[in-house]
Amino acid sequence: MPEPTKRCPYCQARITTDSKRCDVCDKKVGPPDEFNIAKKPFNWSGYFSAAVTGGAFFYFMYWLFVLKDK
């Protein structure tokens, strides 16, 4: 009996259901959905760096247009 597989959401390679990383592209994958395509894990570092960069940008704009004139 063949081993159950899921598809990598990045490169579409077939990997085993219990794999945490793709064998082909070496990216993290999650559990399979109802179509046996692995879910992409949540990218905490990407969202955190975007929030820090956005906060720095808004502080710079506040400093440039509000605090600099005082």
Q: Which amino acid is at 49?
A: S
pLDDT at 3: 83
Phi-psi label, residue 54: left if phi above 0, alpha if psi -120 to 50, beta otherwise? alpha
Per-residue pLDDT band for 1 (boundaries 50, 70, 90) equals low
Per-residue pLDDT band for 2 (boundaries 50, 70, 90) equals confident
Q: Tell me: the pLDDT tens digits for 25-55? A: 999 999 999 999 999 999 999 999 999 999 9
Assess contact for 16 and 3: CB atoms under 8 A: yes
pLDDT at 70: 65
62 sits in which H/E element: helix 44-62
pTM value is 0.67
| Long-range CB pairs of 19-24, under 8 A, 24+ apart, other chains included | none
